[in-house]
Copies of this chain bind each other. A is one copy, B any other.
Amino acid sequence: MHLSPPVAVSGGGEIRVKNSPQGTDQSVNDKYVVLYDFSGIGAKAFLRINISSASPTDTCLEYEVATKEFNSLLDNLEAAGLHTEVRPGYDQTILVFVHASKQLLGNTVYKFRVRDWLYSITQTHPGGDKDTVAPGWYEAEDILAVHHLVLWPKELGGAGITPEVGQWKNVKSIFPLHNEHVNQSLLRHLSRRFILTVEDFDHVRDLFGSKVAFYFAFIQTYLVFLTFPAFTGVITWLFLPKYSLAYAILTSVWCTVFLEYWKLRQVDLSIRWNVRGVNKTKANRPEFKYERVIVDETGRTTHYFPKSKQIARQLLQIPFIIVAAAALGAIICCVFAVEVLISEAYEVPHPLYLEYLPTIVLAVAIPYISSSLEGVATLLNNYENHRTADEHEMSLTQKIFILNIITNYLPIVLTAFVYVPFGDAVVPSLKRVLQRLIPGLESGFSAREFRPDWDRLRNEVIALTVTGQISNFFEENILPLLKHQFQDWYREYRRTHTKDAMLLSMVTDEPEEAKFLQTCRNQATLLQYNVQEDMAELVLQFGYLALFSPVWPLISLGFLINNWIELRSDFAKICFEYKRPAPTRADGIGPWIQSLDMLTWIGSISTAAIVHLFHTDPADSGRWATLPITIFVSEHILLGLRAFTRYVFERFGSAQIRKERNERYARRFAHLEQIEANKRAGVNLSPAERERRKSVLVASSDSFWTKQIDEGMSSAAGMRLIGLTREWEEKNGCGLEKKRA
């Protein structure tokens, strides 16, 4: 049952696919696990007994419902042609192991290849017929086929098991098993290599699908590009004045070039991985609510939900974001005010950490503030009723991203454009208000005139980026590990101390399966991976660079180091802290491109404003009048530069794009050549055939076209006309000669 060919190994040969990852001789490419949880039932039954004083037969009823539901789950899986094995899970869960036979899997893989061809994602029909069994070219292709067999609705040939939705609300998750051996060898490989190549991303694609692979390709491209601002940043820091104009310009140009390069690279990779335009093939998400089903003249069934309604609902984002921005803004302003007042409250020089403590607290608290707003965003997003899972996920992440932008960038914007330039007006009045509110506070404040601290902007950026990166690392890598450890310990504790029914206290695994089952149970407790969260983090980081780079040129060096580690730790994270993600396909990083474009654009305004305000003499009152002009010029130069870069990159294209074009051409040429050869044969007719055709032409009504039908007649007619002219000229001399004379 070793369907998937070994992962291609390039340079080093360290990555070996061994299809027996977990003790028993298990391949993972043809399996899926469905986690069924019936723990709610006992509790529900108990509640019903207590509340409505119902008889114990109700408990009985609940269990019968659970039994029916579970049987229906198995029936659905089997109706899709899948084989199931049932084993107990932790607590009151059941693990249903799903297995696709070699034939079913191969045929499904084949079907998806035909589907890709029909949707013009790949250019050639895979060959074969409806009985073809095609082994997957790589593990993720097989797993995706099984994923669709389990998840997709019956009309599309799946079992329609949609976790936590409707009928299947007790199915907590469906997931493929980690190929631990490959995970580990790839992780070792990645941590040993300094610069990753495209083959490394091929490996990631083979393991986790192209959506995840695109994230790694993006972070690597970004990493390589980061060396430039890191280098120039160090130079600037060492030799150039603060808020250097030259560095700001360089960084803006860099942002633009990087983005345009990535856009091309993304197309290139999507062709390499046969996923270009793959979004067209996505099925409806099960939660999608439609108003009615329309069957059109072609027999197509569409689930209709009015576009206007969807647009109206999506427009709700705008008030949401405004309210969220106002709320977050208010919190940030408060922290800010407290911080400024603390720094004012001491006359004597005080330690740096005290002054920036609120900022650091804010930086650490930001992830938690954001996540409380995420709840609202999620509700709103559900209400928006997106058709595909991709759109849904992307829309949610973008909302959260906007919240992140506000919490992360607003303090810096406030410092740069309110505190420093207007601090001498704002802060004293703030003090006065406070003193009126809390009498007896005068003594605390220094009597001297307030002077805004110009270095504050720099320190703010340092504090936010550095603590931000560290707290992110902790939140992503350390926290889940601790959480998982604690869960394990708590499960063990409950097992020995609780009176609840624990399946594993009642049933013992068969010895040869014990190790494998333990791994599976462990994976079932892990979290679901969402690659968009990692992308959001990177885009946010890019934003710091695009918007505030001249404030602290060393920022890029920090990001460079952070990302080198991030790439590897993210891979480890997916392997150890998350369930194996369904190897979903994508043809790029999607709408993040627009986010990055937008950040670069805003960056051209923001950096220009910062350099203009902080580089000039603060005493010069004219600098505010000229600020809009600086912004206008900077913004339009950037837009022009972007158009230019795009034009050049598009002109040059890329190797993959050219290769694809050549292949298409060859296919087309072969096709057309048939017809062409036929025509050539027709033109070089036999004399007999020529005569026959001539007679057809003569027989046709029009005499005009039969005058010069015989061979050489047209030519003779032309010769006669040229000859006539020549004779005339020779008789009369050239016209020119005459005129001259």
Contacts and interface: CB of A to CB of B under 8 A. Distances in A.
Interface string A641-685: 000000010011100000000110111110110111111001100
Contacts of A130: 674-675, 677-678
Contacts of A66: 722
A50 B740 CA distance: 11
A296 B662 contact: yes
A502 to B, nearest CB: 8
Contact of A666 (B71, B298, B675, B701): B298
A516 interface: yes
Interface of A: 1, 24-26, 36, 38, 42-43, 45-47, 50, 56, 59, 63, 66-67, 70-71, 74, 79-81, 83-88, 92, 94, 96-97, 99, 101, 103-104, 107-108, 110-111, 114-115, 118-120, 130-131, 157, 296-300, 307, 310-311, 498-501, 503, 506-507, 512-513, 516, 625, 628-629, 631-632, 648, 651-653, 662-663, 665-669, 671-672, 674-679, 682-683, 693, 697, 700-705, 707-709, 714-715, 717-719, 721-722, 724-726, 728-730, 732, 734-738
Contacts of A92: 725
Contact of A697 (B80, B88, B101, B107): B101
B25 A512 contact: no
Contact of A704 (B47, B81, B300, B516): B516
A38 to B, nearest CB: 6
Given A296-B662, A299-B666, A736 B47 contact: yes
In the A-B complex, the 3 residue pairs with the closest CB atoms: A628-B628, A46-B734, A298-B666
Given A118-B668, A130-B678, A310-B651, 11 more contacts: A25-B702, A59-B729, A70-B718, A86-B718, A108-B679, A110-B675, A130-B675, A296-B662, A300-B662, A307-B652, A498-B735
| Residue from A25, A628, A721, A732 with most neighbouring chain B CB atoms (10 Å) | A721
- Best-buried of A59, A708, A726, A737 by chain B (most CB within 10 Å): A726
A108 B738 CA distance: 50
25 contacts: A42-B725, A42-B726, A42-B735, A43-B735, A46-B734, A46-B737, A70-B718, A74-B715, A80-B683, A86-B708, A86-B717, A86-B718, A87-B717, A88-B721, A94-B722, A103-B682, A118-B667, A120-B120, A130-B675, A131-B678, A311-B651, A499-B732, A501-B728, A506-B728, A628-B628
Contacts of A115: 668, 672
Most buried by B among A104, A110, A157, A719: A157
A300 B107 CA distance: 34
B651 A26 contact: no
Given A81-B679, A721-B507, A672 B111 contact: yes
A24 B666 contact: no
A47 B682 CA distance: 46
B114 A307 contact: no
A707 B85 contact: yes
Nearest to A737: B46
A629 B725 CA distance: 74
A114 B682 CA distance: 19
A704 to B, nearest CB: 6
- Chain A interface SS verdict (over half): helix
A104 to B, nearest CB: 7
Q: Which of A24, A99, A119, A298 has the most CB of B within 10 A?
A: A298
Contacts of A700: 1
Nearest to A717: B86
Given A42-B729, A42-B735, A715 B506 contact: no
Contact of A679 (B104, B675, B732): B104
Nearest to A50: B737
B86 A734 contact: no
A734 B42 contact: yes
Contacts of A63: 722, 726
Given A629-B628, A632-B632, A714 B74 contact: yes
A119 B667 CA distance: 10
The CB with the most chain B CB atoms within 10 A, among A47, A667, A701, A734, is that of A734
Contacts of A669: 299-300
B501 A114 contact: no
Contacts of A662: 296-298, 300
A307 B650 CA distance: 11
Contact of A675 (B79, B107, B709, B722): B107
A724 B81 contact: no
Given A300-B669, A724-B501, A648 B717 contact: no
Contacts of A513: 704
Contact of A672 (B99, B114, B701, B722): B114
Contact of A86 (B683, B714, B737): B714
A148 to B, nearest CB: 12
A651 B314 CA distance: 11
A679 B94 contact: no
Given A118-B671, A663-B298, A503 B725 contact: yes
Contact of A499 (B629, B703, B738): B738
B672 A708 contact: no
A348 B443 CA distance: 78
A506 B721 CA distance: 9
Given A114-B672, A311-B648, A724-B507, A94 B666 contact: no
A500 B709 contact: no
A736 B43 contact: yes
